[in-house]
Structure 1
Amino acid sequence: MEKITGMGATGRVGPDHARAEARLAIFETEHPTHVLSQKTVATGPGHRLFIAAPRGTPPAQGWPVLYLLDGNAAFDFLTPAHLAAAEGLALVGVGYDTDRQFAREQRTFDFTAPDGPGDGIRPDPVHEGRMAGGAAQFLDRLTGALRKAAEDGLRVDPSRRTLWGHSFGGLFTLYAALTRPDSFARFAAISPSIWWDEALIHRIAARADPAVTPPLLVALGDREKRSGSDGPPPNGPAPATMAFVESLRWHPGLDPQVHVLPSLKHIETIAGSLPLAIRFAAGA
């Protein structure tokens, strides 16, 4: 299988973090709280799962589990301190079969919502040469074959699964929370790419079932800007994201937790959000 690189379909390269290789230093040593492993799953475009299983005997109902999208990057930013804080919590990174932190074209397709007639798949309106709209298919894969592979041999409490996603993964996390709120018990959307199709995510929110309102955490930095955009980093959180989160408060029963991470740029909110997400996922 050809590995996805950081080069876009048009030949343009993205920001440095989009091309970075995943060193996965967390796997180089043993950890007192977790046993780490990896496995490859052939479903879809090919995925890698990065698993941190708690040591010891699981509770009768199973471990709570935090699923991390862009698993190659998430586990690349994961530290021993994060694992120590996650004692009794399983972590599963859902990545792609690539040695890089991000599979840019594939994640664009998988993490963006369908829209329009038919299956809703269409050319990406923002990134020339990419396709978009595969989120429904990916959500089926995530809660089907990928979840089955991740939890094989890992006793998990089905009522305490949390989904975390960053950037486009954060956008997908919102999509999952609003369209299939029973797919996970909790949702943590980090620096979600509201800008990608702001009107679409607002339409999705307007159609959400008011009877099912899972706990939702949203975190973003106050120095974020779109990759490749000109000018200095802003001094404050993204207005579009804050406005969208505020609009969710009008949704009956939905009261998202919002955290602004001081002095953090976009890529930095991966590691910066993990302590929040670990506490959120470990909650009863």
Structure 2
Amino acid sequence: MTHFYRKTFNIVLASLSLLGFSSGLYAKPEMKPLAANIAEVGSEYYNFKIKEFASKDPQKTYRVWLGIPKTAQNEQKAYPSVFMLDGNSAMSHLNEDVLKSLLENDAPILVAIGYKTNLPFATAFRSLDYTPADLSTGKPAHDPRNPERMSGGSADFRNVILSDIAPWVEQNVKLDAQKRALWGHSYGGLFVLDSLIDGRYFSHFFAASPSLSWADQRIMKKTKNAKIAQDSKKHLLLMEGDLLANVGSQQSPNFDASGINNNREVLAITKQHGVDAKFLIYPNLKHGEVFKASLLDVLSNQWY
């Protein structure tokens, strides 16, 4: 196993009294319009292509950034790849220093899947796209955490990725089927776990601060009842900060014992299904802060 998967942090639970507290309170992300990203200003190290994909919703258009290292000139070689959710925000964290460092390793193909917006997050769209459907009906419904939004459309979104986006990527560059990674944060982490259960296309799954308590732990229940195919090896890395989002609140401690315990439970379940699963804890990071930290770790550490 690579150094990246061996990288773990040991933590000590402060006291048993912490175990009853919920990590369901998350700070809202900053929603200022984004500046031009590296694909738009140009890079010395990567060539970027941008393509938009229509959806069933006329108001929702997917915007995808494809980054191919300029050293990738062998058309016969199959390259590792990282598919990144919340692509608008993910692209905002890429710069020349990050891309240059990737070339020191076997630079991966970058696929950032976002939306046609100048904001870092399309909250209503991702609420529907990234979350699994109700287990009893199998249909989308209002998001129990944000009732003004819909949820439960992950199956349709995954079909867009597998039927439209991935074929376009592979028309431009050959991907290594054993090194196709999917990374997502928060609701995106739910989509990563749901895609692991689905089992198609991806080999490596990076779930950063997955919202495991969402909808009465729906994804945890789904994972328990899943039949994950063991004919091809799957790799999962769960990533979580050890601080609650509402640090400083007098109502709850800073240490996120509940979120950590939920991740440990998913870790145990997926291992029982034959998944090569690991858990990485980021000391002193809150939910939102894990977005950038985990993304850059996945890109810069040589899991591939």
TM norm. shorter chain > 0.5? yes
**Which is greater in Rg?**
2
Taking the TM superposition and a 5 Å limit, the aligned residue runs for 1:167-186 are 167-178=186-197, 180-186=198-204
Aligned mates of 1:52, 1:65 — CA distance in 2: 10
1:47 aligns with 2:62: yes
TM-score (norm 2): 0.78
Name the residue aligned to 2:242. Answer: 222
Structure 1 pair 232/154, CA: closer, same or farther in 2 (3 Å)? farther
1:1-284 alignment runs, 5 A limit: 17-27=29-39, 29-44=41-56, 45-56=60-71, 57-58=73-74, 60-87=76-103, 88-178=107-197, 180-212=198-230, 213-225=233-245, 234-236=254-256, 238-248=259-269, 251-279=272-300, 282-284=302-304
Q: How many residues align?
A: 268
Encode CA deviations 1:37-68: one digit per residue, 9 max, x unaligned: 32222234211112221112146342111000
Paired residues of 1:165 and 1:173 also in contact (CA < 8 A): yes
Deviates more, 1:231-240 or 1:27-36: 231-240
Per-residue deviation, 1:161: 1.1
CA separation in 2, counterparts of 1:231 and 1:54?
48
Kindly indicate whether the alpha-carbon contact (under 8 Å) linking 2:212 and 2:263 is maintained by their aligned counterparts in 1. no
> Cα distance, 1:35 vs. partner?
1.4
Q: Does 1 or 2 have the higher relative contact order (CA < 8 Å, sep 6+)?
A: 2
Distance 2:131 2:214 in 1: 9
Runs of 5+ consecutive residues of structure 1 not aligned to the other structure: 1-13
Gapped regions of structure 2 (runs ≥ 5): 1-25
Deviation of 1:217 (Å): 0.9
Q: Deviation per CA, 1:224-266: give whole Å up to 9, x if none.
A: 4279x88577234623533433432552322422111122222
Aligned to 1:245, the other structure's residue is in SS state: helix
Report the CA distance between 1:211 and its aligned residue: 3.7
Contact map agreement 1:161 1:185 (CA 8 A) in 2: yes
Amino acid at match of 1:278: L
Deviations 1:167-216 (A, max 9, x none): 100111011102x1233111100111112124321221122224425100
RMSD over aligned Cα, in angstroms?
A: 2.6
Identity of aligned residues (%): 27
